[in-house]
Amino acid sequence: MVNSSFYVKFIKLIYSTKILTFSLKKGRFYCKSPGLMDEYKFLAPLYDPLLHAVMHRVRRKVVDVVENLPHQSIIDICCGTGNQLKYLKRAGFSEITGVDISRSMLGQARKGRDKVTCDEQDASMMHFKDNSFEVGIISFALHEKPEQVARQIISEAQRVVHPRGHLILVDYLFKGHVRLPARMTIHMVERIAGKEHYKYFKQYLIYGGMDHFMDASALKKEYRFHANATAIRVYAMNKYGQYA
């Protein structure tokens, strides 16, 4: 479990990078980074180093979940820096593919000793054939998109994942008791990602997050992290008919 002192240290780390500053006039932190679509141009090199301590257990758990599913072929949709794919590769998975629209994030994905296949594609209109994969993963992507775009990404995931396959969603789930330090830290991280990003994050929380997009009857497993603020959810695609 991550305790309150961890969140304080994490905030100090973010502040030390100089991408966040405090306005005495406004009485709040604000981000210096750009807020438009390659908002990650500035953040991409810092993304994994900053978030490793927060994300390591989540990445490992996703690997554990996939190991217990039929998993011949796996796609990480909105794969970002390819970090989850690298965890999967180190665990022995070979038929793994990622897609993302951010060239800056994909540039990071192609670095390092663990080489993974990451294509520049719009996740809302992917180039893959129907039922191409047994497992789909969407990790911390839905909360940063306009609602209609997030719906399109889910629809595409349902199309490319086989009806006998599974979709794994990893994202915020402010459902039930979530500790205040976790809430504050997450809001700060989302501010850092840019003005538009933060706007969509707040909308995502208002309309109910993952529950807004997915049929509850398809939910098979749920695992909570970060003082209950985030969740890994496993959905069975056979609940969705032909396309998953």
Question: What are 19-52's pLDDT values in tens digits?
Answer: 445 444 444 444 444 444 455 665 655 665 566 7
Q: What is the pLDDT of residues 81-129, one digit of tens each?
A: 899 999 999 999 999 999 999 888 888 888 888 889 999 999 999 999 9
Q: Which two tokens stand for residue 131?
A: 């039922």
Q: What are the structural domain ranges in the chain?
A: 4-240
For residue 234, pLDDT beyond 70? yes
For the domain spanning 4-240, the CATH number is: 3.40.50.150
Answer for the pair 50, 17: CB distance below 8 angstroms, yes or no: yes
Helical segments of the chain, H only:
4-16, 40-67, 83-90, 103-109, 147-160, 180-192, 195-206, 210-213
What does the pLDDT read at residue 241? 46
d(CA 139, CA 235): 14
Average predicted confidence (pLDDT) for the chain: 83
Taking alpha carbons only, the member of 84, 67, 57, 51 closest to residue 189 is 51
> By C-alpha distance, which of 109, 88, 100 is closest to 44?
109
Q: What is the pLDDT of residue 135?
A: 98
- Does position 242 have pLDDT exceeding 50, yes or no? no
Kindly report whether the global pTM for this prediction surpasses the value 0.85.
no
Question: What CA–CA distance (Å, rounded) separates 83 from 49?
Answer: 11
Instruction: Give the span between the Cα atoms of 158 and 72, in whole angstroms.
Output: 17
CB 143 within 8 A of CB 204: yes
- In this prediction, residue 81 carries a pLDDT of 87
